[in-house]
């Protein structure tokens, strides 16, 4: 599909086509929530919408397809990703954002790339997408949702700590394999918020 990287309407239509309806609804929720956070934190509202719309663009395809895209385009896969190929939807999504949807802004590409595990030293846009993904109106389950929905509009770094701590707990309890990046991101934002080595680390 030919489009300029700022063509919101075309990106939305493309997502409606490529995603299933549940994921498309989630995508719209993330885009609007990211836009609201961008208003709050003086970021580009348009970039937040583009990144929000595209963040899960590689979600509705088979693991085989994600792996074959990586192979074809020499995108490196680590051991964790090989064992948990769903994690690749972020990496493959950031590739497709550039290759298929003609996004050139590296901050938008990084926001898609790092939306699942985060990374130490995220940009404001990266944090906005990570957080919007978690708090968008369609999300229902997470026990800390009410609290972080409010906190997101007060302090992004504190919100990162709360979300990552809860995700690590969830993975620990459910036996999910933890990507070292998820833990590194958590520890980084604990330090950033000067809460030291705190709750999650203490108990594990």
Binding footprint of ligand DGI on the chain (CB under 6 A): 26, 56, 59, 84, 115-117, 133, 167, 171, 176-179, 182
Is there a contact between 155 and 40 (Cβ–Cβ < 8 Å)? no
Q: Show the tokens assigned to 196.
A: 């030291």
Nearest to 35 by CA among 27, 26, 46: 46
Minimal distance, residue 2 CB to ligand DGI, in Å: 27
Residue carrying structure tokens 């609007």: 32
Picked from Fe ion, ligand DGI, none, the partner binding residue 66 (CB below 5 to 8 A depending on kind) is none
Minimal distance, residue 109 CB to Fe ion, in Å: 15
Picked from ligand DGI, Fe ion, none, the partner binding residue 16 (CB below 5 to 8 A depending on kind) is none
- SS3 string, 21-81, reads HHHHHHHHHHHHHHHHHHHHCCCCHHHHHHHHHHCCCCCCCCHHHHHHHHHHCCCCCCHHH
Picked from Fe ion, ligand DGI, none, the partner binding residue 177 (CB below 5 to 8 A depending on kind) is ligand DGI
Site for Fe ion in 118-147 (CB under 5 A): 133
Burial 164-176 (b: 16+ CB within 10 A, else e): bbbbbbeeeeeee
CA 81 – CA 125 distance, rounded (Å): 24
Minimal distance, residue 178 CB to ligand DGI, in Å: 5
Q: Which is nearer to ligand DGI, 49 or 117 (CB)?
A: 117
Picked from Fe ion, ligand DGI, none, the partner binding residue 75 (CB below 5 to 8 A depending on kind) is none
Q: Which is nearer to ligand DGI, 6 or 77 (CB)?
A: 77
Site for Fe ion in 34-93 (CB under 5 A): 56
Q: Which is nearer to Fe ion, 81 or 133 (CB)?
A: 133
Picked from ligand DGI, Fe ion, none, the partner binding residue 105 (CB below 5 to 8 A depending on kind) is none
Nearest to 167 by CA among 112, 110, 98, 116: 116
Site residues (vs Fe ion, CB under 5 A) = 56, 133
């Amino acid at each position: 599909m030919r489009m300029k990287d700022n063509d919101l309407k075309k990106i939305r239509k493309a997502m409606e086509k490529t995603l299933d309806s549940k994921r498309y609804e989630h995508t719209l929720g993330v885009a609007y929530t990211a836009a609201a956070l961008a208003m709050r934190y003086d970021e580009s509202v348009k970039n937040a919408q583009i990144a929000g719309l595209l963040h899960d663009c590689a979600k509705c395809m088979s693991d085989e397809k994600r792996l074959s895209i990586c192979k074809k385009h020499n995108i490196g896969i680590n051991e964790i990703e090989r064992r948990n190929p769903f994690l690749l939807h972020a990496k493959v999504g950031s590739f497709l954002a550039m290759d298929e949807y003609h996004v050139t802004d590296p901050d938008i590409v990084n926001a898609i790339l790092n939306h699942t595990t985060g990374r130490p030293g995220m940009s404001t846009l990266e944090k906005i997408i990570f957080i919007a993904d978690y708090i968008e109106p369609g999300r229902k389950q997470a026990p800390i949702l009410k609290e972080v929905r409010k906190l997101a509009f007060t302090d992004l770094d504190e919100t990162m700590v709360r979300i990552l701590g809860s995700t690590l707990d969830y993975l620990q309890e459910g036996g999910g394999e933890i990507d070292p990046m998820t833990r590194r991101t958590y520890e980084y934002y604990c330090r950033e918020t000067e809460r030291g080595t705190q709750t999650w680390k203490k108990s594990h």
